[in-house]
Structures are given as C-alpha cells and as structure tokens.
A and B are shown apart, each in its own frame.
Chain A
Amino acid sequence: MEPKSVTRLQPDIQEQKPRRRYVFLMSTPALLGLFMFLVIPFFMAVGMSFTDQRLLSPNETSWVGLRNYDRLLNVSGMVQEPVRDEAGQLVLDGDGQVEYPRLRTLLRSDPAMADYKLFSSWDLGEKRYIVLAKDPHFIQSFINTLLFVLLVVPLQCGLALALALLINRQLRGIFLYRTVFFSPVVTSIVVVSIVWSFLYHKDLGLFNHYLQAMSFGLIGPIDWLGDPAWSMPSIVIMSAWQAAGVQMLIFLAGLQGISPDLYEAADLDGAGPWSKFWHITLPGLRNTVVFVVISTTIQAFGLFTQVDVMTQGGPQGSTSTVMYHAVTKGFREQDIAYGSAISVIFFLVILGIALFQKRLFDSKGDK
C-alpha cells in the first residue's frame, strides 16, 4: 500500500485541470439536452401563458397578463326567474314547459358577461340555476379527467393487486401466466385502442355480443364509444386492462418482500385467507400501495392517446381531457399561449400530487 499513499500526498495541480475538462466533456451532452428540451420549454410554457403567442402569426406577441388563466378558470353562476306575463302568471312555451329569458340575449346585453358561455343548467322549483364558464370545454375536460382518474386508479390498482396475488404462488409454469398478463403493456396503446374499438363496436363488437348472450337479450346493445354516458367508462376499462401489468409486477415484488414467517404464525393461529389478507398482506404492502396509487394517478392525468385514437374527445365532449384540450388549443388551433396555460395548470396538478406523496412518505418516516 506504500505507493498509494505516496501518490495521494502529492498535491497534483496539473492533474486537476484535465479532470475538470473530463467532467465538462462527459456531463455536457446530457445536461445540454435536458436544458434545451425540458428546462427551456418548461419556462417557455410559464412565460408564454401570460402572452398571446401563436404558432405562426404575422402579429407581434404581447403580454396579456392573466387573461389566459382567467379564460380557463373563470366560472360564474346565476339564477333565473321564469318569464311572467303582466298578470304575474308563468309563461309556458310550446311544449308546456316554463319559459325562461333567453340566456344568449342576456349575456350579450351585459358587457361584463359577454365572455361567458353556458356550462350547465338545471331547473329547481320555479327557478333555473345556471353555471357559466368562459371556457366550458376546459371545465368539462377537467371534470372528465378527474372522472377518469377516479375510475381508473382503483380499477387498475385493484386488478393489478388481484393478478399479483394470483401469480404469487408455487405452481409450475406460473411465469408463463405472468408473461401473458403483462403482454398488453408491451403492446402500443395506439394499437390497443384500435383493436378495442373493434371489440366495442355497437353492432359487430364482441362485448355487446356476450352481453346480449349472457343477459338473454335483456340488455340491449350498448353504444360503448358513441354514448356519452359510456364513452369514458369504456376508455377506463381498456386503459386499466392495458396497463395493470406494470403495477402487478410492483405488487408482486412487494408481496415477495413480506416475511413468510408472518403467514406461518397466522396459520398456527388458525387464521383464514381473508384474515391473513387483511392483517398481513395489506399492511405489508402499505408502501407499495401508496407508491402504486400515486404513480398511477399521475399517469392517468395525462390521458391523451386513447381519446385521440378512439373518440377524438367526443361524443359531446364526454371524453375530452385536459391534455386533449391542450393539444386541441395549442396545436390544432395554434394558440400556443392558451395551450401553455393549460400545460402549466396540468403541471401544477401533477406537482400537487407528487408533494402529497412526499408528505405521505415523510410522515411515515417519522413514526
């Protein structure tokens, strides 16, 4: 070990310089890439969301302050009284329905309300309650995305856990089943969406065939992708089926981390399978569950491809999502500034979820 310490002791200044050059040469390509294509676009998104930037435009870009965000997030409400004649009686329209003042005329007459459009309305008692938004499509897309997340996360995570429990046993050839359950993951979501569009087909599709056969024709054909009530659930089912394989593997790793001694002890106490699942498996998987749920949630918020291939946001906007709206505005309508504002809101939601996850993990560390 003699020579080592000798070399170490030499304050070799000449050696430091080329070393620094190596650090520079070896780290620059990746750092440049991250900077150019991640950091810059990110700050561009923030900056441009306060402008009226367009993809191609002869006009100069100018600052518009919070106008884009106002357009996105501004929601307002109003209550309408029905129309009454001079005697104070309700006026009925041709169909015998109570008549209300025309909303469009009302909004146009008031300059402060001119930017609002109808989002939703319902009649209650002798009043009409109206929700207005400056961009009703965005509000709807946001609600659709939340709906997708709320449906797909439990379904996908539950399915993944069930599959993991299924294949976590000593059976010969079990790896074959693991490969099979996993195979949709390596199939492109574009291809999956196309093949499932066929299975979902109203007249020819397989799902309606089985549904009718199993219900003896009682349940009529469902227009899976064409009915606003079914379109989002249809995308949910397909998405959970396609992606569950990844979470299945993560759960499987979690299951294999639980000590077998616990199960043996439970067996000695005469615990049944349910009790073992509730008292050993689930608590043992706590970290894994938190991680899987959060990462699935983050992924689900970015829903775009399935929608673009299968429904293009329809029918009646029932499958439009935040990302779909961002691409429609920012790219198809070339309103980069508005698309950027949507991207910023999207990022803030993701950041919120990630911080929430961090808090969950941190608080666990304290215990």
Chain B
Amino acid sequence: MSVKHLKTLGWYLFLTGIGYVFLFPLLFMLVSSLKPEQAIFADLYSIRAILPVGELSLDNYRQVFEKSNVSLYFWNSLFITVGTVIMGLFVNSLLAFTLSRMSWRGQKLVLAVVIALMIIPLEAIVVPLLLLASKLPSIGWEGGMLVLKSSWLNTLHVQMLPFVANSFFIFLFYQFFRDIPKDFDEAAELDGATPFQIYRHIIVPMSGPVFATVAILHFLLMWNQYIWPIMAVQGEDARPLMPGIQIFFGRQSSWGEIMAYASLVTLPVLAVFLMFQKKFVTSLAGAGIKG
C-alpha cells in the first residue's frame, strides 16, 4: 500500500470515528428498544450497545402500546402534520404568487410586512396565543354529536391553523417565483388565462423544488412541535406524539420501553429522511442561507 492509500484509509477511519459519535445515540435507541432491560445495561459498555444481538423481541413495543395511547397520539401527529403542510403549501404559495407575479396597490407594503414578521419567533407569542386560543369559539364532536365549544384549547385544529401561514415559507416561495421568467404568464394571459390558472398550470408545475423544500421544512416543524401542544392541549384526545413521549418518560417507565417509544416517534421521520435525504440536506442548507 502506498502512502497515499494509507492517508486515505486514515481519513476514513477518522471520519468513521466521528460518525460513531453522531450515530451512537440513534443506533443505541433503536437497538435497545428490542432488548430486555438487563441486556441494555449489560451491553452498554461494549460495541454490543449498538448491535442488535442477544435476545431480541418486540416486547417493549407491546408494553408501550399497552401503557400509552400511542396509536392515538401517532394519528393525531400525522393528521396535524399532513393537514397543516398541505394547507400551508397552498396558502403560502398563493400569497407569494400575488406578491411576485401580479401587481397591485399595497403589494410592496405587504411584502415588507411579511419579511418583517419573520423576525418574530414562535416563542415570543405562545403566551398571548394561548389566551387568544382559549377565547376563540369552535365546533367540536362530542358523544356522537356536534357541540359548540367556547375555546380552541384541546383540539386538533388549535395545533394546525395557527401554523398554516408562515412568513418564512412565503418568502421562500416568493424568491423562487420571482426568478421564473415572466414570458410564460404573459403569453397565457393573452390567451385569456385567469391568474389562478396561471398559478395552477404554469407556476406550480415549474416550482417542484421549492414546494419540496417548504414541505420538508414544514413537516419537520410540525412533527416536532412541543412547546405549543404542551400548553394548548391538556387532555388525551388531541395530544400529539412529542408531549406523549415526554409524559411517558416522566412516569419513570423502563428504559427499554422509553427507547421503544422514542424509536416509534423517530422512525417515520427517519424513513422519510433516508428516502429523500439529498433533498432534505439541500433544503435545510438552502433555507439556512436564504433565511
């Protein structure tokens, strides 16, 4: 072996060592979720901690499903996330379309306001938002009939509607739409296309990348929501996964069960991430740079 090869090998070893540090907690979580409690501790201090060896079973998962209403939380999370992302893609891109490809009075002002709003972090408004949500009336489903409720708290929509419109996503759409050549819409306009038809048949088909980017960012944001649901949702019915696992963790459950729960929460995102990993990486990097 030449010196060059040795050097390359050294790099790989070094990178793998660092990779181990980054991957260890994740692998440990997944592997431990399959092991009985004693095996987790017995394997902890050797490489076996991240290897699926020994007596493996789905017992921990079974216990989690028995002790926690995890399937309800899972469907709540999925509904909240998917629903909000779909509404968000639609609503945010529509506003961005009017800002970037139509001209109207007040447009510049609205754009400036949208950009200025990006500076307000969610954390700065959760407390007043809680009061607002407690005062908004809503219609709910209780005992097989529709009832009028006096507050939005403890519902699914209180976790969705406030997060549909997002100034940062509007800005990402705006930037992308702005750079599409105007010739297309002008031609379509001459053919008598309405603005909505231009949006639907010209802009949307050309904007796959930005829709994917916003969908991924919004998905992560919604799936990982924590501070808002712990405040706005006290009951079980509308509780999503993150508060669910936190409560389970606080109950001093066994570590194997906690790891099984953590794996259940993580696996869907991990699967989506591995499927679209290239897109994920470019989205997050691009969003970071532009933001």
Contact = CB atoms under 8 A, between A and B. Distances in A.
Interface of A: 3-4, 7, 18-20, 22-23, 25-27, 29-34, 36-42, 44-45, 48, 53, 55-56, 163, 166-167, 169, 171, 174-175, 177-192, 194-199, 204, 206, 209, 241, 246-247, 249-250, 252-253, 291, 295, 298, 302, 304-305, 308-309, 323, 326-327, 330-331, 336, 339-340, 342-344, 346-347, 350-351, 354
A199 B41 CA distance: 11
Contacts of B128: 41-42, 44-45, 48, 336, 340, 343
A199 B45 CA distance: 11
A350 B121 CA distance: 8
A181 B285 CA distance: 14
B194 interface: yes
Interface string B109-147: 010001001011101111111111010000000000000
7 contacts: A26-B94, A33-B164, A190-B226, A190-B242, A190-B245, A241-B21, A305-B226
B131 A323 contact: no
B265 A44 contact: no
**Which of B23, B114, B130, B265 lies at the interface centre, i.e. has the most chain A CB atoms within 10 A of its CB?**
B130
B167 interface: yes
Contact of A302 (B123, B127, B129, B224): B123
A166 B226 CA distance: 33
Contact of A38 (B28, B125, B194): B125
Given A22-B98, A38-B125, A177-B15, 6 more contacts: A23-B102, A42-B124, A45-B124, A53-B131, A323-B123, A344-B124
Contacts of A19: 102, 104, 195
A181 to B, nearest CB: 5
B130 to A, nearest CB: 6
A20 B104 contact: yes
Nearest to A190: B242
Task: Summarize A's interface: helix, strand, loop or mixed.
Answer: helix
Nearest to A335: B127
A190 B224 contact: yes
A26 to B, nearest CB: 4
Contact of A34 (B8, B102, B117, B230): B117
B181 interface: no
B165 A241 contact: no
**Which of A41, A186, A323, A350 lies at the interface centre, i.e. has the most chain B CB atoms within 10 A of its CB?**
A186
Interface of B: 8, 11-12, 14-15, 18-19, 21-23, 25-26, 28-29, 41, 44-45, 49, 90-92, 94-95, 97-99, 102, 104, 110, 114, 117, 119-121, 123-132, 134, 161-165, 167, 170, 190, 194-196, 199, 220, 223-224, 226-227, 230-231, 242, 245-246, 249, 255, 258-259, 262, 265-266, 269-270, 273, 277-278, 280-281, 284-285, 288-289, 291
B268 to A, nearest CB: 11
A187 B265 CA distance: 9
B285 A186 contact: no
Contact of B165 (A34, A327, A331, A350): A34
Task: Summarize B's interface: helix, strand, loop or mixed.
Answer: helix
B170 A206 contact: no
Contact of B45 (A42, A191, A209): A209
B125 A41 contact: yes
A212 to B, nearest CB: 11
B127 A45 contact: yes
Given A53-B131, A178-B281, A181-B18, A188 B165 contact: no
A26 B45 contact: no
A340 B131 CA distance: 10
Nearest to A354: B119
**Which of B92, B259, B277 lies at the interface centre, i.e. has the most chain A CB atoms within 10 A of its CB?**
B277
Given A45-B125, A188-B265, A195 B94 contact: no
Contacts of A189: 224, 226
A244 B267 CA distance: 21
B132 A40 contact: yes
B231 A327 contact: yes
